[in-house]
């Protein structure tokens, strides 16, 4: 990136205001520093706009649906308007159904419960556990990690060509890897799925906060994502897409709100008529604040303009990647290669360092929050590290003490609220730690590497 381009990116593409941008944290070496939140892939900070919208609504909070009072009716309107806003953000089809859930994990488990009895599922081993684990039975085919986007499409085409062509099938794929940040060829995978009579669900947890996502343009059948990765950390997620399988399935949760009519049967039991709308899978009191916060984030990102947000993020990605490239001991993990398009998620290992030790030093000595571990994508990280896929490991926990060999990696991730200074501090800290070592002693405590007292 040229100096003029960098200056333009800094001038035109200012970070969006987020909560916590002025929080200071103590350093083990003395003093305090403004916290550099570089773990967006786990949970992004709340946009200031989202927080302000939620705070303005909070005094008017009321029960959703069926309430006669003014606050209940206002909250119901807010909830259903949020549904329409998010559907518009995703460019859903007119007859699609949008269900508010708790998270991406909840959304994909809901869809797994709604699959026809004889549905076959195809999923790459590279998926996050949220989209890898819900389909646990003999109908699932796990596909090996591809090393190019074209290979991903060819692998799926071969697997679908070998399946029973007369039964229903579902393909599950991520839009952007939570480990490497690389974008997957979703549109091409959807075309391959549909050509073989299968449907496809897109895990957009890492894609939606960084890029515009159009259900119609990508031609996916369902899409799932989490509010807490979309700058709306209030406990809600989304599953949006075709209504037929959702309407035909038993409710994901049985209870009030999902039922349209409940009567006693002559045999002493109860007979239930379930809603056919999204309410069928939204039993209980809906999280209206969570839904409203997602809608607020969707509006904020749309108004900011994804072209601007994407341009700034590419600028930050180049800052980090070029900085890490100057450190020979650092190896960036990748499936598709250096030139693959990606979002602001970068994982790497450092020669001679246990990843947990390195991440602990970044936090304790520089006030930088990153993630270390296997990132709830164990098969993918082990493939990228070249380790035994059977080796035991906990999601996000270290497997070795400081100085010992690590089977984990370090992940830095950022987004619309990340200022330049945070990534610059991170790159400089990596260089200093590799060159000079840690300034403090560390020990393993309760499965985490922490500064020794």
- Pairing type for strands 97-101 and 140-143 reads unpaired
- Pairing type for strands 409-413 and 371-373 reads antiparallel
Q: Which residues pair with 167 in a beta bridge?
A: none
Helix or strand (DSSP H, E) at 240: strand 237-241
CA atoms 205, 210, 216, 217: torsion sign:
negative
353 is written with which tokens?
């360092």
To which residue do tokens 């959807």 refer?
A: 190
Nearest one of 359, 363, 386 to 372, comparing CA atoms: 359
Quick count: other Cβ atoms within 10 Å of Cβ 331? 16
Q: Which of helix, strand or coil describes residue 143?
A: strand
Describe the crossing of helices 306-325 and 3-12 by its angle, rounded to 10 degrees: 130
Residue 190 phi, psi (nearest 5): -65, -40
Q: Is 376 a catalytic residue?
A: yes
CA 33 vs. chain centroid, Å, equals 28
Burial class from Cβ neighbours inside 10 Å (0-12, 13-18, 19+) for residue 309 reads buried
Q: How far is the C-alpha of 248 from the C-alpha of 262, rounded, in Å?
A: 18
**Catalytically annotated residue among 13, 92, 298, 376:** 376
The full DSSP string for 65-81 is: SS--SHHHHHHHHHHHH
The full DSSP string for 283-315 is: -SS--HHHHHHHHHHHHHHHHH-HHHHHHHHHH
Residue 391 phi, psi (nearest 5): -60, 135
198 is written with which tokens?
């299968």
Residue 12 phi, psi (nearest 5): -85, -35
Residues annotated catalytic, as ranges = 376
């Amino acid at each position: 990136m040229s100096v003029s381009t960098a200056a333009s990116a800094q001038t035109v593409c200012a970070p969006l205001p987020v909560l916590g941008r002025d929080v200071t944290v103590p350093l083990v070496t003395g003093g305090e520093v403004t916290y550099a939140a570089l773990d967006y892939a786990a949970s992004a900070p709340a946009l200031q706009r989202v927080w302000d919208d939620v705070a303005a609504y909070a005094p008017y909070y009321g029960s959703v649906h069926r309430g006669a009072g003014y606050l209940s009716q206002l909250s119901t309107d807010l909830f259903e308007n949020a549904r329409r806003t998010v559907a518009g953000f995703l460019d859903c089809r007119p007859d699609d159904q949008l269900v508010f859930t708790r998270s991406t994990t909840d959304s994909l488990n809901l869809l797994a419960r709604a699959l026809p009895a004889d549905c076959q599922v195809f999923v790459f081993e590279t998926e996050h556990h949220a989209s890898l684990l819900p389909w646990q039975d003999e109908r699932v085919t796990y596909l090996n990690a591809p090393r190019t986007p074209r290979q991903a499409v060819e692998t799926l085409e071969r697997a679908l060509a070998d399946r029973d062509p007369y039964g229903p099938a579902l393909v599950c794929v991520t839009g952007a890897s939570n480990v490497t940040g690389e974008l997957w060829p979703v549109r091409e995978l959807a075309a391959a799925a549909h050509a073989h009579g299968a449907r496809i669900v897109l895990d957009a947890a890492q894609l939606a906060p960084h890029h515009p996502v159009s259900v119609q343009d990508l031609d996916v059948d369902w899409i799932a994502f989490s509010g807490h990765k979309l700058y709306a950390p209030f406990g809600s997620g989304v599953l949006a897409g075709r209504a037929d399988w959702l309407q035909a399935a038993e409710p994901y949760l049985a209870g009030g709100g999902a039922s349209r009519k409940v009567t006693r049967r002559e045999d002493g039991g109860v007979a239930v008529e379930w809603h056919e709308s999204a309410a069928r899978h939204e039993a209980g009191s809906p999280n209206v604040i969570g839904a409203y916060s997602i809608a607020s984030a969707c509006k904020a990102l749309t108004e900011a303009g994804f072209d601007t947000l994407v341009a700034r993020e590419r600028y930050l990605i180049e800052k980090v990647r070029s900085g890490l490239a100057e450190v020979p001991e650092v190896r960036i993990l990748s499936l598709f290669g250096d030139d693959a398009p990606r979002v602001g998620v970068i994982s790497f290992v450092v020669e001679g360092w246990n990843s947990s030790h390195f991440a602990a030093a970044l936090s304790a000595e520089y006030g930088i929050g990153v993630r270390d571990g296997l990132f709830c994508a164990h098969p993918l990280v082990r493939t990228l590290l070249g380790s035994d896929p059977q080796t035991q490991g906990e999601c996000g926990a270290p497997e070795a003490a400081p100085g010992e060999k690590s089977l984990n990696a370090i992940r830095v991730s950022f987004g619309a609220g990340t200022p330049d200074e945070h990534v610059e501090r991170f790159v400089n800290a990596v260089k200093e730690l590799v060159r000079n070592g840690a300034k403090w002693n560390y020990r393993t405590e309760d499965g985490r590497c922490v500064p020794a007292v």
